[in-house]
Structures are given as C-alpha cells and as structure tokens.
Structure 1
Amino acid sequence: MKSELWPVSDVLAFLAGSWHVERTVRDLADDVTGRFTGTTEFTAADGGGLLHVESGVFEWRGVARPAERTLRYLPDGTPGTAVVRFSDGRFFHGLDLRGGHHIADHPCSADLYRGEFEVYDADSWRTVWRVKGPAKDLVLTTDYRRV
C-alpha cells in the first residue's frame, strides 16, 4: 500500500458507507495463509455512532466458508475519535485517526492483539493486527477500498 498518511478529522464521518475488504491471515507458527474477501458496511447505529457489519468468504487451508462480524463504533470524548466495541458491548479499542495513523492494544485472555491503522486517502485505509500469545502467532492485514 502507499506510505503517505492522510489525516482524518472525524473518524465516524470518514468510515460511513460501504467498503470492499481484502484480508490475509498469516499463521506464523504453522506457516499457513488464509484469505477473506467481502464488504464492510458502516451504517448509522441506534443510539448514535456506526454499526460495522462485515460479511464475505474466508478461505483457510483450502476450505472456503461464509464469515461475518459486527462491531459498534461510538463517539469518544474527544471530537473526531471513536470507541470500538464488540457487538455484545464489550470494549475492543479506541480509534484516533486525526494523524492518519493509530495503534491500539487489546488483551484477550493470554493473547495480545496490537492493531495498527493507516489511512492513505479518502477511499483507502489498512489495518494490521499482530496477535501474539501462548496459542497464537498471527498477522492479519486488511485493506479497505471505498465502494
């Protein structure tokens, strides 16, 4: 992807709409790579913020299966930033793209998820999640392109 970063003054306004998603999932321990292709819709959520609904096909070890997830992006206390929550309301991470870049940590049991977010322009951004723990050694790279 590109190397120049694009500042986002309002993360919720930037994300709103439809995005094409391509993700690679690399299991570094087993030297296996999977692929997800689909869409993410950021739509107005009841009570404010955005509902993030991702759906598509995930191919892992030669088997393709439907896959989906839902997150909530809510306004944070600082203008232009957001709090990301799982669909059940649990905290996932904060998100501040005012500099075009953000790093977020999410401890999950004995694993640590570290996400790096980069915005390249009004229509493209990327996340790279590094997952490390006793049972996991993964890199998830997701590219988003506005539909």
Structure 2
Amino acid sequence: MGEFWPVPEVLAFLAGHWEVTRSVRDLASEDAGHFTGTTVFGPLEGGGLLHHESGTFTWQGVPRPAERTLRFLPGPDGAGTADVRFADGRPFHDLDLTSGHWIADHPCAADLYRGEFTVRDADHWRTVWRVGGPAKDLVLTTDYARVG
C-alpha cells in the first residue's frame, strides 16, 4: 500500500492548522458546489482535539459563510485511533489511521454516510464522504494541506 502514509499517533498528526478545499456533488441533480477555508485542530480540555472549520461554501453560484466544530477524542485502541464526535458530544465515527487508510460509517436518520480517509504524507490527507438515502445522493471530497 505505497499510496498510504501510516499514522502512529492520529491526534499528534492532526494537531495544527490546515487549508481545506472540498467539492460537493449531488449525483441525482448533478448540482455541484465547493468549500474553501481552514481547519484548526487545537487542544481540547480533558484531552483530545477541538476541530474548528471555517470558510466559504458556494452552492449553485451563491457563496455563504460556513463552519463546523467536531471533537476528536483519544480512541479506545491506542494512539493511532480517535473517537470523533459532534460538537454536542453525539458520536460521529471512529478513526484509525495506523495504516494511513480508514473507512467509517455514520447512519443518520434514513441516510448512510460512508467516509474514506486517506493519508498521503505528513502534510496531506483526504476524506471522501458518500452520502446515500431516500433524499440524498452526494459525494463530498475534502483535501487537507498543512499550513506552516
């Protein structure tokens, strides 16, 4: 698996500032959008990282400010894993980057979010979320590049 870069300590790898570019495709309507901004993984009281993403999301030609916050907590299986939660503490997904590649599922009402995480090197990683359900058929591809 030469295309993946193993991460022995996921929280140490993620810590810091990242430039973010995301494409969003609605496979049913063929609409497309994009997000550009930054993500900061900063220390979280009690351990782990607070993920704060902010930038501009453009959908159907209309730009809007966008942000989200997640919590990346130490995982149950050692330093290579994390327990990812929404800002309010609800579970989102597990994350294990020890091989540099991971697939996670998140059921949300009638939809299923399936995320594929790929680490390219010490300063670049990608997520591809496929969202399917009765009202959604989306692909969200996000590239992260370390700042500094």
Bin for the TM-score computed over the shorter chain: over 0.9
Deviation string 1:103-133 (CA, Å, 9 cap, x unpaired) is: 0000000000000000000000000000000
Runs (4 or more) in structure 1 with deviation over 4 Å come to: none
- 5+ residue gaps, structure 2, are none
- Where does 1:55-94 land on structure 2 (aligned, <5 Å)? 55-80=54-79, 81-94=81-94
* 117-126 or 75-84: bigger deviation: 75-84
Q: Does 1:128 align with 2:97?
A: no
Deviation string 1:72-106 (CA, Å, 9 cap, x unpaired) is: 00001111210000000000000000000000000
Paired with 2:91 and 2:68, the residues of 1 have a C-alpha distance of: 15
Residue in 2 that maps onto 1:17: 16
TM-score, length of structure 2 as denominator length: 0.97
- 5+ residue gaps, structure 1, are none
TM-score, length of structure 1 as denominator length: 0.97
Q: Which AA in structure 2 matches 1:23?
A: R
Identity %: 71
Deviation string 1:1-37 (CA, Å, 9 cap, x unpaired) is: xx71100001000000000000000000110110000
Residue in 2 that maps onto 1:118: 118
Q: Which AA in structure 2 matches 1:93?
A: H
